[in-house]
Structure 1
Amino acid sequence: MTTISSSSAADISTHPLPPSRPHVIEDCRGTILLYSDGTVFRSPEPFIHVSSAHDAEAEVDWRDVLYDPAHDLSLRLFKPRVINAEEGKIPLLVYYHGGGFCLGSRTWPNFHSCCLRLASSLHVIVASVDYRLAPEHKLPAAIQDGAASLLFLRDQWASDAWLAEHADPARVFLSGESAGGNITHHMAVQFGPTGLNPIRIRGSILLMPAFGGVERTESELECDKDSFLSLEQADQYCRLMLPRGATRDYPVFNPAGPEGPNLEAVETGPMLLVVAEKDMLKDREVEYARRMREEWGKHVEVAEFEGQQHGFFAIDSWSEPGDEVIRIMKQFMDEFGRD
């Protein structure tokens, strides 16, 4: 037994131990490190380095445009190199990348490759939008930035050469994958077909949108731990991106959940929802489509891709499943892109 003398005890009471050094409490894919003192280290390198040999085949020009100087946010415009004068102006497709509201950028090779594919194969101008990321900027910051990007495009349309000369403001579509699909939903709800006059939003394409909820679904519970998006990874994203005190039923994250607004009176325009069979979010996306259609009277088309995991399109948009995504997107845009 060790005894502490009175003098030693006094020394301890008047000279407290130094505070412990900050330590990592969240390691998100090795790209974001959140420390115990609240500081964040964000690697400039993407955790996905996928690009495609097909990128060189896409005859597409691109350039970056700063749309929010206050937050240093940019979007990347992609334009098919050849636009025949006789065909007139072509549609604009706005694209919001994925990454659990925590990761991703228009500059990441896989998202850049994805937008090259969209512009080339759909023969559209693409605006790939960056937005503020968590944990530095928790929801609803990403939703606010999604809206700011659309307002910027509307206000700059006449002065931007690519948009003014080649993009048809009466044929604008919204799209996004994972977190970007969630943003797409909120843009459709906020603006509808005519809320960006003179821009007309013809429809929205939600690719495996990131929706959550407190009550676990079957597809979440059965998800393989080695999946690209596992339940553990999804829960980590939630800890990083949900505002303080919010649960996974936070209506921005779970718009069709118990805390979400009634959308019956809201005009959203038609929607195309792409679902992956092996995606842990599948059941939640299917329930979202059911409520949108059956309870709120919205036009929602659902296309399920057998054997695919979450994020398969943005990971390799030039693959055979990517070809099918392009096909159904084109069909949807052709159907709703005309009067």
Structure 2
Amino acid sequence: MSDTPRPKLPANKSPIVSNPDGSFTRLLEIPSIPATPDDDGHTPVLSKDIPMNSEKGTWFRIFIPRQVLNSTQKLPLLVYYHGGGFVFMSAASATSHNFCAKLASQLHVVVASIEYRLAPEHRLPAAYDDAVEALHCIKMSQDIWLHQYADLSNCFLGGSSAGGNIAYHAGLRAADIVDDLEPLKIKGLILQQPFFSGLERTESEIRLGSGSILTLAGSDHMWNMSLPVGVDRDHEYCNPLIGGGSVNIERLRVLGWRVLTCGGSGDHLIDKQMELHRMLEEKGVQTALYLGDGYHGMELMEPSKADGLIEAVKQFVSSTVS
């Protein structure tokens, strides 16, 4: 798979601008890819879109490895939330689509990539609400791909950047309603360079804040657009350590869910990600850690450099499924 073109921004312009009518225009040029539901005998991964909530405009894209069509064995299900700072991207964006196809093929899993509502039109917790609603929709769906190929009893929540943040908060919520989600059974969370911060700058934010893809100023701008009006970056949505962490972390421990945190040495978010990992570990949650090289989102922009992360996720899934 070739490397994905980086999103393009017109010179000297903000990536998103407000209009007089209160709407917003996104200026990033982000290529999209349509789903490929038909088997031509050569496509390694098939995908199709399933509506979720027509009033909200939400949906999800399912990816299945083509070889599963000739098998009776069901595969683990990975519910995936795309990145983009809560403000940009889509489940149809080339970066998201290509990475989910890679996950389905190399991990040998079914992937359900969620199209959630974006800020600033829909500030947090809208994305978390959609993330959990997706779990209910998946458990109730009559779609033949989910019924025939996905093992709902071996489910993982994962995502990249803002999607990793969503996976974490959706997991905390889901831990409170496990009975309502049956037969969907979550086994773990996969936090891929999760998007977290706080008012107090970390050493890595200061040292690496001029990163090539995600800068510190860009992070702050997206938090300003996505957090509830009137709160700062020490809100629990942004800073998972505030107040000693969520009370629902204890539920993660009791349920035996495992949490894999993946970080990059060139990512200015790495210190906050490591703080979260250590806090979960100290609270008795079963944790795993993958530390790679490179900048924030490198495995999405340069899939050829994603092998280490993919292998870590593969081992995490295979060692967790029952």
Q: TM-score, normalised by structure 1?
A: 0.82
Distance 1:282 1:28 in 2: 28
Question: 1:224 and 1:249, CA in 2 relative to 1: closer, same or farther beyond 3 A?
Answer: closer
Between 80-89 and 280-289, the greater mean CA deviation after superposition: 80-89
Please give the residue correspondences for 1:186-225 in structure 2 after superposition, counting only pairs within 5 Å: 186-192=169-175, 194-195=178-179, 196-225=181-210
Q: Paired residue for 1:67, among 40, 52, 71?
A: 52
The question of whether the paired residues in 1 share the 8 Å contact of 2:227 and 2:237 is answered with no
1:311 offset after TM fit, Å? 1.1
Distance 1:124 1:323 in 2: 16
What amino acid is aligned across from residue 163 of structure 1 in structure 2?
L
Q: Paired residue for 1:322, among 278, 299, 306?
A: 306
Question: 1:327 and 1:57, CA in 2 relative to 1: closer, same or farther beyond 3 A?
Answer: farther
Q: Highest CA radius of gyration, 1 or 2?
A: 1
1:182 aligns to 2:170 (yes or no):
no
Match of 2:317 in 1: 333
The question of whether the paired residues in 1 share the 8 Å contact of 2:46 and 2:66 is answered with yes
The question of whether the paired residues in 2 share the 8 Å contact of 1:170 and 1:200 is answered with yes
Match of 2:285 in 1: 298
What amino acid is aligned across from residue 152 of structure 1 in structure 2?
C
Deviations 1:195-214 (A, max 9, x none): 42111111111000011101
Question: 1:264 and 1:135, CA in 2 relative to 1: closer, same or farther beyond 3 A?
Answer: closer
Q: Unmatched 5+ residue regions in structure 1?
A: 1-26, 51-55
Distance 2:249 2:110 in 1: 32
Please give the residue correspondences for 1:232-251 in structure 2 after superposition, counting only pairs within 5 Å: 232-251=217-236
Distance 1:70 1:29 in 2: 32
Distance 1:28 1:121 in 2: 39
Question: 1:70 and 1:49, CA in 2 relative to 1: closer, same or farther beyond 3 A?
Answer: closer
Deviations 1:123-144 (A, max 9, x none): 1111111111111111111111
1:260 offset after TM fit, Å? 4.2
Question: 1:71 and 1:171, CA in 2 relative to 1: closer, same or farther beyond 3 A?
Answer: same
Deviations 1:243-263 (A, max 9, x none): 111000111121222374334
Distance 2:135 2:242 in 1: 26
What amino acid is aligned across from residue 262 of structure 1 in structure 2?
V
1:310 aligns to 2:301 (yes or no):
no
1:288 aligns to 2:273 (yes or no):
no
1:223 offset after TM fit, Å? 1.4
What amino acid is aligned across from residue 304 of structure 1 in structure 2?
L
Q: Paired residue for 2:243, among 253, 258, 269?
A: 258
The question of whether the paired residues in 2 share the 8 Å contact of 1:264 and 1:297 is answered with no
Question: 1:58 and 1:326, CA in 2 relative to 1: closer, same or farther beyond 3 A?
Answer: farther
Please give the residue correspondences for 1:1-339 in structure 2 after superposition, counting only pairs within 5 Å: 31-35=15-19, 38-43=22-27, 46-47=29-30, 59-83=44-68, 88-156=73-141, 159-192=142-175, 194-195=178-179, 196-258=181-243, 260-267=245-252, 269-294=257-282, 296-306=283-293, 308-317=294-303, 319=304, 321-338=305-322
Distance 2:171 2:298 in 1: 23
Q: Unmatched 5+ residue regions in structure 2?
A: 1-10, 34-40
1:47 offset after TM fit, Å? 3.7
Q: Secondary structure at the match of 1:328?
A: helix
Q: Secondary structure at the match of 1:61?
A: strand
Tell me the percent identity: 35
The question of whether the paired residues in 2 share the 8 Å contact of 1:181 and 1:210 is answered with yes
Distance 1:224 1:216 in 2: 10
Q: How many pairs align?
A: 301
Q: TM-score, normalised by structure 2?
A: 0.87
Distance 2:198 2:21 in 1: 28
Question: 1:63 and 1:37, CA in 2 relative to 1: closer, same or farther beyond 3 A?
Answer: closer
CA RMSD between the two structures: 2.5
